[in-house]
Copies of this chain bind each other. A is one copy, B any other.
Amino acid sequence: MQFAACPMPIVDHKAIVLGHGSGGRLSHQLMQNVIWPAFQNEILSTRHDGAVIPTEKGRMAFTTDSYVIHPIFFPGGDIGELAVNGTVNDLAMCGAQPKYLSASLIIEEGLSMEDLWRIVCSMRDAAAAAGVMLVTGDTKVVDRGKADRIFINTAGMGIVPDGIEIDPCRAAPGDAIILSGPIASHGISIMSVREGLEFESPIESDTAALNGLVRTMMTASPNIHVMRDPTRGGVASALNEIAETSQHGILIREESIPIRSEVQGACEVLGLDPLYVANEGCLLAFVCPADTEPVLAAMKSHPLGRESAIIGEVVENDPGIVVMRTRIGGNRIVDMLSGEQLPRIC
């Protein structure tokens, strides 16, 4: 079929660079200037982690993610488990109960059958742990040198219960921002393998399915305003997206952000700011003052939320901006990640 040509939007880059996959400013520009203008419609434009589709018979959530992580096996997980958990989490962040996943494998010629088996078993076990069913799939093989061992896409479908309205637009001044656990473990686990760093005990990825935690939270209050898992681009990028979408300010306090000391140490060695490092097993929740205590208590009662903490709040001033009160008492603007810090982290 031949389609009419359409004028290309004006963009800073003539070609794709790694930073366009960072989850930070360049990714954001690519979406805003190229992808969304092409595809705009009322569902896509909500810019959730997934689409929430109103149907006659209730609301469905639908999401997709491709996983290109390098290396494919890492401390605490592998690409298969990550591909299941990541998509389960994107559904959970829409307030949906994840139900069904698809799995599509792009395999480079030469991947050992043993590695493939290990990965598919890990997907199966992660799906069982999250209570979702892998119902359809696809396998493609490309010639040696045209992919990097294996890339996995998962798409997911879920049901959004009545009464749940999770939406970055709902962030409101006074909302407490709760973080469910220590940050930066996933990114540092990957970087330490790539850089050959040795620790007394290896730093493990936090990859986990968060739908059980979310269920617990929604039982405590169905009125959670926003949820987001701070993956690519880390806590800083997730908060910036919410600040920008809601057009409110966000204030966080450095001292209240949970991080393991060995992860903090590794960040210093690698010259990375943990606020920008990817997570795969924690979430941010925005909750109104009346709901803060019950939701926080519910989170702490769940194995994946034991270290939950209030890290800040939504404020009236500085709309669209994230500010951090540092340990020494200063204020620092936490901008969106510019360029690429950790390529192929998920």
Contacts and interface: CB of A to CB of B under 8 A. Distances in A.
Interface residues of A, number: 94
Nearest to A142: B68
A125 to B, nearest CB: 4
Given A39-B120, A57-B57, A155-B102, A21 B64 contact: no
Interface in A236-277: none
Interface stretch (A12-20, A174-182, A222-230, A329-337): A12-20
A60 B157 contact: yes
A6 to B, nearest CB: 5
B135 A142 contact: no
B139 A21 contact: yes
Interface string A42-63: 0110001011010001101011
A65 B104 CA distance: 6
A343 B9 CA distance: 34
A72 interface: no
A343 B15 contact: no
A103 interface: yes
Give the number of copies in the complex: 2
A107 B21 contact: yes
Contact of A1 (B8, B44, B129): B129
A77 B1 contact: yes
A35 B121 CA distance: 9
Contact of A139 (B20, B43, B120, B124): B20
A67 B104 CA distance: 10
B53 A16 contact: no
A142 to B, nearest CB: 5
A290 interface: no
Contacts of A19: 141
Contacts of A14: 112-114
10 contacts: A1-B129, A3-B121, A16-B112, A27-B139, A51-B136, A57-B57, A62-B100, A62-B136, A106-B106, A151-B151
Given A17-B141, A106-B151, 19 more contacts: A5-B121, A9-B117, A17-B109, A22-B141, A30-B139, A34-B120, A35-B137, A39-B137, A43-B100, A43-B135, A43-B136, A44-B135, A51-B135, A64-B102, A104-B153, A140-B344, A141-B343, A142-B151, A142-B343
